[in-house]
């Protein structure tokens, strides 16, 4: 009898240990942020949603993860994260905070607003190259550490800045602009593979790095490439040098992060504590007052889909 009771206790504790659980990192996020959904003890590759956005899971050891973009239009409030794994349903809350995006008025020559007809073919070809990069099939994340700044520099434009020109809304800035002089270093934000090295009309000399998890980081306006397409890179490896190629008025790094089908806030990516990572999280000094800055239209589909 005692033996069977002990077996029963053992099987109960095993069942308890094997019960899957879900965690959302961070538990509070802003529109445009990436959030990591971690399913521990997943019995099968989970499916799930964050609000109305589908989560695409990959396996990672005994766990499963999905890195999910919060759309920039996401209404603040409480969202439910729903996950199904091996017939079990799990729930977790995610608090969406107000975004506090900024407006910037631009005063630039009109040539920066409308590209010449002669540029159309290149703009179209650039768009095709970006779409091909965004279509990279989902695979597990290729990095273990947290993300690092590609340059240790001051932010000159934030993710979500709305730009107006002549009173018209021109575009939204879907990246971080980091200050720099031509020739200064740009480093990989994390481990991954270079999937695009291309001179583009809007984004100038452009490098895209695929990190897995559906996440691709973008580095625009370089003066010089220091990597080749297909090359594996480690966190901190040199990718190229700061420049002012493409549609810009001065040298800087436009640093973007593309997740699934949306651009996400690189600052939130840098602040995301990945399970198992050992590096400290990156922080920036508090924002200064907005100024006119350098207009860059972003990628040819700086549009987000």
Q: Which is nearer to Zn ion, 175 or 196 (CB)?
A: 175
CA nearest neighbour of 281 among 294, 269, 297: 269
Q: Which is nearer to Zn ion, 219 or 274 (CB)?
A: 219
CA nearest neighbour of 57 among 34, 77, 37: 37
The span of 68-76, 263-271, 275-283, 295-303 binding Zn ion (CB under 5 A) equals 295-303
Cβ-contact 105, 292 below 8 angstroms: yes
Helix (H) or strand (E) holding 84: strand 77-85
Q: Determine the Cα angle at 176 with ends 175 and 179, to 5°.
A: 140
For residue 248, the minimal CB distance to Zn ion (Å) is: 8
The burial of 194, by beta-carbon neighbours within 10 Å (0-12 exposed, 13-18 middle, 19 or more buried), is given as: buried
Q: Which is nearer to Zn ion, 58 or 112 (CB)?
A: 112
Per the document, the length of the chain is 305
> Roughly how many angstroms between the first and final C-alpha of the chain, as a whole number?
64
Selected from 192, 200, 296, 300, the binder of Zn ion by CB under 5 A is 296
For residue 278, the minimal CB distance to Zn ion (Å) is: 30
CA nearest neighbour of 66 among 43, 89, 34, 112: 34
The span of 29-37, 39-47, 269-277, 293-301 binding Zn ion (CB under 5 A) equals 293-301
Scan residues 199-258 and list those touching Zn ion (CB under 5 A). Answer: 254
Scan residues 33-92 and list those touching Zn ion (CB under 5 A). Answer: none
DSSP type of residue 112: G
Cβ-contact 78, 96 below 8 angstroms: yes
The span of 56-64, 204-212, 227-235, 289-297 binding Zn ion (CB under 5 A) equals 289-297
Q: How many CA atoms lie within 13 A of 210 on its CB side?
A: 23
Scan residues 138-197 and list those touching Zn ion (CB under 5 A). Answer: 175, 177
Q: What is the size of the binding site for Zn ion (CB under 5 A)?
A: 4
Q: Which is nearer to Zn ion, 247 or 254 (CB)?
A: 254
For residue 264, the minimal CB distance to Zn ion (Å) is: 15
- Give the residue closest to Zn ion by C-beta: 254
Q: Which is nearer to Zn ion, 187 or 254 (CB)?
A: 254
What are the residues binding Zn ion (CB under 5 A)?
Answer: 175, 177, 254, 296
């Amino acid at each position: 009898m005692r033996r069977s009771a002990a077996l029963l206790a053992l099987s109960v504790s095993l069942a308890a240990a094997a019960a899957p659980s879900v965690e959302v990192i961070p538990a509070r996020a802003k529109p445009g942020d990436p959030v990591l959904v971690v399913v521990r003890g997943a019995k099968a590759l989970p499916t799930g949603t964050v609000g109305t956005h589908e989560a695409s899971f990959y396996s990672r050891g005994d766990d499963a993860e999905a890195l999910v973009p919060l759309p920039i239009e996401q209404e603040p409030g409480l969202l439910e994260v729903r996950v199904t794994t091996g017939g079990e349903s799990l729930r977790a809350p995610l608090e969406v905070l107000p975004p506090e995006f900024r407006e910037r008025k631009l005063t630039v020559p009109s040539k920066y607003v409308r590209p010449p007809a002669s540029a159309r073919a290149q703009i179209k070809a650039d768009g095709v190259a970006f779409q091909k990069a965004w279509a990279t099939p989902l695979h597990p994340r290729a990095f273990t550490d947290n993300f690092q700044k590609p340059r240790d520099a001051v932010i000159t434009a934030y993710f979500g800045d709305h730009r107006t020109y002549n009173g018209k809304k021109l575009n939204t800035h879907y990246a971080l602009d980091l200050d720099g002089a031509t020739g200064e270093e740009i480093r990989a934000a994390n481990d991954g593979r270079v999937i695009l090295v291309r001179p583009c009309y809007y984004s100038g000399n452009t490098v895209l790095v695929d990190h897995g998890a559906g996440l691709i980081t973008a580095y625009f306006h370089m003066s010089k490439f220091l990597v080749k397409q297909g090359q594996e890179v480690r966190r901190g490896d040199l990718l190229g040098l700061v420049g002012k190629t493409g549609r810009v008025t001065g040298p800087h790094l436009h640093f973007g992060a593309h997740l699934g089908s949306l651009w996400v806030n690189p600052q939130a990516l840098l602040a995301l504590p990945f399970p198992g990572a050992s590096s400290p999280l990156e922080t920036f000094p508090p924002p200064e007052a907005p100024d006119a800055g350098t207009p860059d239209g972003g990628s040819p589909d700086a549009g987000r889909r």
